Copies of this chain bind each other. A is one copy, B any other.
Amino acid sequence: MVESPKQLAQESPSANNFNNNSEELDNKSADSIIITTETIPKPPYEIHKVCLPPYTTTVRKLKHRLFEIFFSDDPLSIFRNHSFCRKVDLGVRCVFPVFQWLPSYNFKLFGSDLISGITIASLAIPQGINYASLANLPPKIGLYSSFVPPLIYSVLGSSRHLAVGPTSSASLVMAMMLSQMVSFINEPVLHLKLTFTATFFAGLFQASLGLFRLGFILDFLSKATLTGFMAGVSIIVSLQQLKGLLGMTHFTNQMQVVPVLTSVFRHRQEWSAKIFIMGIIFLVLLLTAKQISKKKPKLFWISAAAPLISVVVSTLLVFLLKSKFEDVPKIGWLQKGLNPPSSNMLYFKHGPYLSLAIETGIVTGILSLTEGIAVGRTFASQQNYQIDGNKEMIAIGVMNIVGSCCSCFVTTGTFSRSAVNYNAGAKTAFSNVVMALAVLVTLLFLMPLFHYTPNVTLAAIIIAAVVGLVDYKTVINLWKLDKLDFLACWCSFLGVLFISVQIGLAIAVGVSVFKIILHVTRPNTVVLGNIPGTHIYQSLHRYENTTRVSSFLILSIESPIFFANSTYLQERILRWVREEEERIIEDTEERLKCVILDMTAVTAIDGSGIDIISELREKLEKKALQFVLVNPLGNVMETLQCSKVLDLFQFKGLYLTVEEAVADISSYWEHSIP
């Protein structure tokens, strides 16, 4: 039973005594000014009741909740209030983002996309060959993978800067997983079949994630995580380029810093000063071009054209001075021909091979999807546009499903290629089409032209592209804003550098989730005071012009009350009461009579939270303290109502505002004293 204010007031010193006290206190220093209940402005209107939200059934609540989770963007809203034709038009644009930019496509945009498309095409060829060999596949598969998937992506993808192709991490993981059961040397055809099958399942998995609207899972990649991830991958990718930059022939298949550097220094007899100097010259030229474009935005074309010019110049150089550059590693001779169909090579026979292919598909699917979406979001946030995670997943998934039928292996938006694409000034997904066409032309006719392109130029282009993406300014900002975000960023960075891309990301997501948990586990509790002459109650600690209200302790909890913090909150609130009582004894003030809990910032409550509310009530009642709740939010109010805890508070225990609670309770005290 709640103790009525009447009882409490009778136990307290008389009202006269109390008023005398307040006059004395007015003469004290500003630091310890308190307002007595006399000076509080009385509300000129009635005391408002706290309402329950309108009743809804459990099923409707669940429906609303699920809608908010899966369709929070209200994807069908664009179709409302339109004619049928317009709806069809909008639907087509929605399913095929290509129709969003194609109608307004102009020659200027085409110019930018052409340059960037040709630039990334010049990267696609050596990268394709390189990653195919990482995945234990014939080199041509790598080239095929840079032809069909970019075409699909340009139609379905919503990112403007993502350049599509195979990635090192997915290639490596695929090789590792398939080699557990199949040798690519002894059974090359079976190995190839399983590769295509794994690619098919990777695509199926990715597309289903998108279709079931699970794109929100990717929200857990925070900006902090992405910054660290980007910096880590930049360094990893740069280190991979040491092979080309130093003209080495032996190089490790591993990705982490330590094995790569170990391998580079172990084979230092392979280092070539001539190639290194050539690489450094190109690197310096590329970085200078970038700086010029940065300082004078009108000269943007300098940095955009620089990579392609480098490729042409270096190829000509090597071609013209054949004899002097004989020992420089070049892209070399490549077989001509287009993607053959491979749908007949998909392996669906029940057995261990199929389950291996499915497993490999899911792992590489997750891996490449994470990289693709992370890269896409990164560039989107740099240019302030939104990427629809679900659409991206479907686009990447369909790209891989189709790819698996056209002799391609797992592809996604790759970091190095997208960085070059972005730097070369790509404006729309058309740069992917240009790249695909360039690869097509190359596959059919131009193979001999790349014969003389030195690998070192490509290495310099990649390094120049990724080096600018170590975003130290954001890192400094993170340190200022949030130490735990800073930690997440470093975890992601160091994890990528020293363990692996996926583990680095997993650690960073873990730290980010831990941060949320920690915020809930140890929430802020604040003592409120009144700004004299107003109805405003604010933190005593923060607002100097606030004053304590005599006989009241007003606490605000800034967090949901969950099992994870209920024990802490109970202890913390009791400690506030204890400390307030000690302070009152020290300052010989009016004794504490009422504890008000402002629940405005308590956004949810669970069973443990309900328990501590009723336990607190009991414990405070034993101390002859009234316990009052103020402004529980809608769902908190519902839970309180369900649990019957509200019955305990019926009588003068629930108010809409702190002001009304203080005014009503103190007027009750006054009236009940003769």
Contact = CB atoms under 8 A, between A and B. Distances in A.
A70 to B, nearest CB: 10
Interface stretch (A254-262, A432-440, A478-486): A478-486
A45 interface: yes
In the complex this chain forms, how many copies of it are found?
2
A607 interface: yes
Interface string A633-665: 111000100110000000000001100000000
Given A512-B564, A534-B45, A572-B72, A485 B222 contact: no
Contacts of A519: 560, 603-604
Contacts of A578: 77
Contacts of A216: 521, 568
Interface stretch (A88-96, A99-107, A352-360, A523-531): A523-531
Question: Which of A515, A539, A542 has the largest count of B CB atoms less than 10 A from its CB?
Answer: A542
A211 interface: no
B572 A53 contact: no
Given A384-B615, A571-B73, A608-B223, A526 B634 contact: yes
B542 A51 contact: yes
Interface in A208-240: 216, 219-225
A536 interface: yes
A563 B377 CA distance: 13
Given A558-B633, A635-B524, A222 B608 contact: yes
Contacts of A611: 223, 381
A241 interface: no
Contacts of A601: 600-601, 603, 633
A581 interface: no
Interface in A543-592: 543-544, 558-560, 562-568, 571-572, 575, 578
Contact of A565 (B74, B219, B386, B543): B219
A608 B515 CA distance: 14
Contacts of A657: 536
A451 interface: no
A481 B606 contact: yes
A542 B53 contact: yes
Nearest to A603: B558
A429 B223 CA distance: 52
B642 A481 contact: yes
Contacts of A58: 483
Given A485-B606, A517-B516, A568 B72 contact: yes
A204 to B, nearest CB: 26
Interface residues of A, number: 91
B603 A643 contact: no
A571 B633 CA distance: 23
Contacts of A563: 219-225, 512
Contacts of A224: 563, 606-607
Given A536-B657, A656-B536, A564 B607 contact: no
A630 to B, nearest CB: 12
Contact of A533 (B45, B482, B559, B634): B45
A560 B541 CA distance: 21
A73 to B, nearest CB: 5
Contacts of A87: none
A202 to B, nearest CB: 25
Interface stretch (A61-69, A403-411, A493-501): A61-69
A516 B519 CA distance: 11
Contacts of A65: 522
A667 interface: no
A281 interface: no
A610 interface: yes
Nearest to A58: B483
A370 interface: no
A671 interface: no
A219 B62 CA distance: 28
A639 B606 contact: no
A72 B522 CA distance: 9
A105 to B, nearest CB: 23
Nearest to A531: B48
A221 B564 CA distance: 8
A163 B478 CA distance: 50
A564 to B, nearest CB: 5
Nearest to A544: B51
Contact of A564 (B48, B219, B523, B604): B219
Given A222-B563, A513-B517, A603-B603, 18 more contacts: A45-B533, A48-B534, A54-B541, A69-B521, A72-B572, A77-B575, A222-B606, A224-B606, A480-B643, A512-B564, A516-B562, A516-B564, A524-B633, A524-B634, A524-B635, A526-B634, A541-B634, A601-B603
Which 4 pairs show the lowest CB-CB distances between chains A and B? A222-B563, A558-B603, A53-B542, A601-B601
16 contacts: A51-B543, A72-B572, A73-B571, A77-B578, A219-B563, A219-B565, A219-B566, A222-B562, A224-B563, A481-B639, A485-B607, A513-B513, A513-B517, A515-B606, A524-B635, A539-B634
